[in-house]
Amino acid sequence: MEGQDVVISMVGGIVAGDQQVFIDAAIAAGVKRFFPSEFGPYSRDPKFSALNHAVLPAKAATVDYLRSKESEISWSSLVTGAFFDWAMKVGFFGFDLSCKTVTLIDGGTSVFTATNLSTIGKALIAMLDHADETENQYVFVSSFNVSQKDILDVVEKVDGQKWTVKNIVSEEVIAEGRRRLAAGDFAGIIDLTRGGAFGKEALGDSRPYGLWGDKLELPKEDIEQAVKDVL
């Protein structure tokens, strides 16, 4: 890390709570700004943190540690919600592209925040361009604030045909996540995240915290084009 002004931590999942060693190393090397691995839902949302207790509290604790070191290093934490293009491709949003089916959670009407991977990269650069404004701050960005049904409408428009719709309740999704975690399968956090964000609790909406898109001069995005790119 010596000679670097900025360190961006992208460690995921189970090691999200082990970032202190990187922070200490960055401080020792004279790094000026540390970006902890936040990327996803807001880790300080009390309801979401209680639900996804394996990851979100650890991310919040990382920022608490950074706050205790502000005399030695500054920090910025980027909250992106779901990764839109990635989530569409891998089925995280419930869309099976090969079978043209979608599984809606609690009817698919809860709005959540999602950001394209390229926009996350642009946001990181913009945060450095606005270093003073983003110093020691949580920064919230989004490409889209949509529901599963909103996405389905766009998908069917772009694809030119109706997709098969399945339905499931968030209680089942969350119960499956807890079962998997209890069995040692850390991938259970995916179910917990999906159940909390897309279900009736609607824990994935970052808008109440204030979005930084305009302040960071991020480009406006077209969800129809984003879906076309995925399909």
For 7, phi then psi, to 5°, come to: -120, 130
Quote the CA–CA distance of 110 and 127 in Å, as a whole number: 29
Domain limits, the chain:
6-230
Q: Give me the mean pLDDT over the 112-135 stretch.
A: 97
Q: Which residue has the tokens 């609690």?
A: 106
Q: Are 164 and 103 in contact (CB under 8 A)?
A: no
Q: Give me the mean pLDDT over the 83-99 stretch.
A: 97
Tell me the two tokens of residue 33.
Answer: 């700004």
Question: How confident is the model at residue 121, as a pLDDT?
Answer: 97
Question: How confident is the model at residue 75, as a pLDDT?
Answer: 98
Q: Which residue has the tokens 């010596």?
A: 2
Question: How confident is the model at residue 15, as a pLDDT?
Answer: 79
Q: Which residue has the tokens 């766009």?
A: 154
Q: Give me the mean pLDDT over the 69-98 stretch.
A: 97
Quote the CA–CA distance of 102 and 76 in Å, as a whole number: 36
pTM of the full predicted structure?
Answer: 0.93
Residue 12 has pLDDT above 90, yes or no: no
Selected residue with higher pLDDT from 53 and 172: 172
Question: How confident is the model at residue 17, as a pLDDT?
Answer: 78
Question: How confident is the model at residue 4, as a pLDDT?
Answer: 93
Q: Which residues contact 191 (CB under 8 A, 6 or more apart)?
A: 173, 174, 176, 177, 180
pLDDT tens string 140-196: 999 999 999 999 999 999 999 999 999 999 999 999 999 999 999 998 999 999 999
Give me the half-sphere count of Cα atoms (radius 13 Å) on the Cβ side of residue 17.
8
| Across 50-54, 105-109, 134-138, least confident range | 50-54
Indicate the pairing of strand 144-146 with strand 112-115: antiparallel
Cα→Cα distances 223→73, 113, 131, 167, 227, Å:
37, 13, 29, 23, 6
Q: Which residues contact 182 (CB under 8 A, 6 or more apart)?
A: 188
Does CATH number 3.40.50.720 belong to domain 6-230? yes
| H helix or E strand, kind and range, residue 195 | helix 188-198
Q: What is the C-alpha radius of gyration for the chain, rounded to an integer number of angstroms? A: 18
The b-or-e profile of 40-78 (16+ CB within 10 A means b, else e) is bbbbbbeebbebbebbbbbbbbbbeebeebeeebbbbbb
